[in-house]
Amino acid sequence: MVPPAIVRSGLFTGGCTALLACAALFCAPTTPAQALPSAPTAPTPAFTLDQAMAAALRNDPAYATAVATTGSARLDAAISRSNLLPNANAHGEYLFTQPNGLRNQAGQTGNQEAPRFIANNAIREYAAQILVNENLSFASVADYRRARALVAQSAADLESAHRDLISRTVALYFSVLSSADKVEVARRALDEAKAFDDLTQKLESRREIAHADVVKADLAFQQRQREFDDAMLAAEKARLDLGVLLFPDPRAPYTLAAPDPLASLPDQPSIEAAASHDNPDLRSALEALHAAHSEVLAARAGYFPALGFNYTYGIDAPQLAVNGPDRVRNLGYSASASIDFPLWDWFATHDKVRQSELRERAAQAILTNTQRQLIAQLDEFYHEARVATDQVASLRTSVDTARESLRLTRLRYSNGEALALEVVDAQSALVQAEAALADGILRGHVARANLQTLTGTL
């Protein structure tokens, strides 16, 4: 019988040649069957915390927006600086005017055809010039200072966005690890509940316990099954949340490297000193105040005069040539200077000054509030990190105690000295202790990350 795979491949549609080839194939000496080599599977990427943070910086759209904002602010400062410097451009023009039939004494020779438009100098006029202009005012200088302050502010905002993203990535990273630990806790609790359920059924079959113990054990097993399902769901959600920052497809599989144990905290005065110098939120508020102060200066500059300078070099003549008739020199230059005094603008400048002063007071209030928040957050994060670090050891002791309590309660129950309810309570106590340990480790890492984002050491 011909294998169906060969029929589907179309070998029999080629005529006799295909039939002969198939016969030769079936008549050839057979060899032991060999398994086809399986396609190599791509290894599951393993991420350390540093690699996860680097991937988050590449993929997070909010951080990319902060980078673009900082770059735009730098370009605004460059544009503002260019407004303070002389600019040059080339000018070329040809102008033809219809003559009016008369002649006048103007022009290079003192005798030329008069144009019909009195604003024009000649029938034909050529211009090929280089124009250099410079405009100076106190407002342009203040605008440049404001642009530079905004650059510093955007740089501080970028650093703040960087640290916020790092803190969020650290929280997601350890949330994935914590959720995986909770899955293992739930799995062990489920196995323990299943074993106890089997034990009660076995003892009931030998008429050594009442059926009520079987009911309690079965209810505990069902509860542990629901807790295991919830733990699996929470772990998958945590993996997807972190996967959004790591991969184009957040469903891609990955593993995380085990973190380093929590190190001891440095003393609080050194942390406060680092936070006062390296905190980007404080720098951003300070630079925002500088920008507001420069805006006030720019508004007040409306009361002062503005200077203008112009230098023109080239040709503006009836001929597009260096020399005109009778060797008249067409190539030359002209220069001008101007000054404009503000006289009356219906109090527009006064209102701009008041408007900028209001923004300056608001920036001062923001800076003061940022300083207060920094002091409060620093104290809060430091104490939380210290308490979380200290509690991890206590939580590990609680887990060991709960595990030993469950073992002893199981032995007492097997000897008929304990109730089923005591075993179920001991199982619940162990589950709660192990879950609390996973939460405590997560809390310690997140609190340490929040503290490090304030000091700039992460």
The DSSP result for 207-261, as a single string, is: T-S-HHHHHHHHHHHHHHHHHHHHHHHHHHHHHHHHHHHH-SSTTS--EEPPPPP
**pLDDT the model gives residue 90:** 94
Mean pLDDT of 210-231: 92
- pLDDT over threshold 90, residue 19: no
Whole-prediction pTM: 0.73
Question: Which of the two residues, 407 and 6, has the higher pLDDT score?
Answer: 407
Question: What is the model's pLDDT at position 361?
Answer: 95
List phi, psi (to 5°) of 160. Answer: -65, -45
What does the pLDDT average to over 318-332? 84
Buried b (16+ CB within 10 A) or exposed e, 12-25: eeeeeeeeeeeeee
pLDDT band at 323 (very low <50, low <70, confident <90, very high): confident
Q: What is the DSSP letter of 36?
A: P
User: What domains lie within the chain, and their CATH numbers?
Assistant: 47-85+137-304+346-455 (1.20.1600.10), 86-136+306-341 (2.20.200)
Q: Which pLDDT score is estimated for 263?
A: 67
CB under 8 Å to 374, separation ≥6 — which residues? Answer: 275, 276, 279, 281, 282, 454
Contact 457, 274 (CB under 8 A): yes
pLDDT averaged over every residue in the chain: 84
Per-residue confidence (pLDDT) for residue 43, from 0 to 100: 66
Q: Which of 71-75, 209-213, 340-344 shows the lowest mean pLDDT across its residues?
A: 209-213
**pLDDT score, position 268:** 76
pLDDT (0 to 100) of residue 355: 95
Mean local confidence (pLDDT), 136-163: 91
Q: How many CB atoms lie within 10 A of CB 82?
A: 11
pLDDT band at 328; cut points 50, 70, 90: confident
Per-residue pLDDT at 14: 41
Task: Please say whether the beta carbons of 330 and 315 come within 8 A.
Answer: yes
Dihedral, 25, 28, 32, 35 alpha carbons, nearest 10: -20
Report, as an integer, the average pLDDT of 198-204. 88
pLDDT recorded at residue 259: 75
pLDDT band at 279 (very low <50, low <70, confident <90, very high): confident
Average pLDDT, integer, range 363-388: 89
- What average pLDDT does range 7-29 have in this prediction? 37
Q: Is the pLDDT of residue 26 over 60?
A: no
Per-residue pLDDT band at 28 (split at 50, 70, 90): very low
Q: How confident is the model at residue 5 (pLDDT cuts 50, 70, 90)?
A: very low
- Residue 384: how many other CB atoms lie within 10 Å: 17
pLDDT tens profile 41-96: 556 778 888 899 899 999 999 999 999 999 999 999 999 999 889 999 999 999 99
Query: Mind listing the pLDDT tens digit for each residue in 96-117?
Result: 998 888 887 776 667 788 887 8
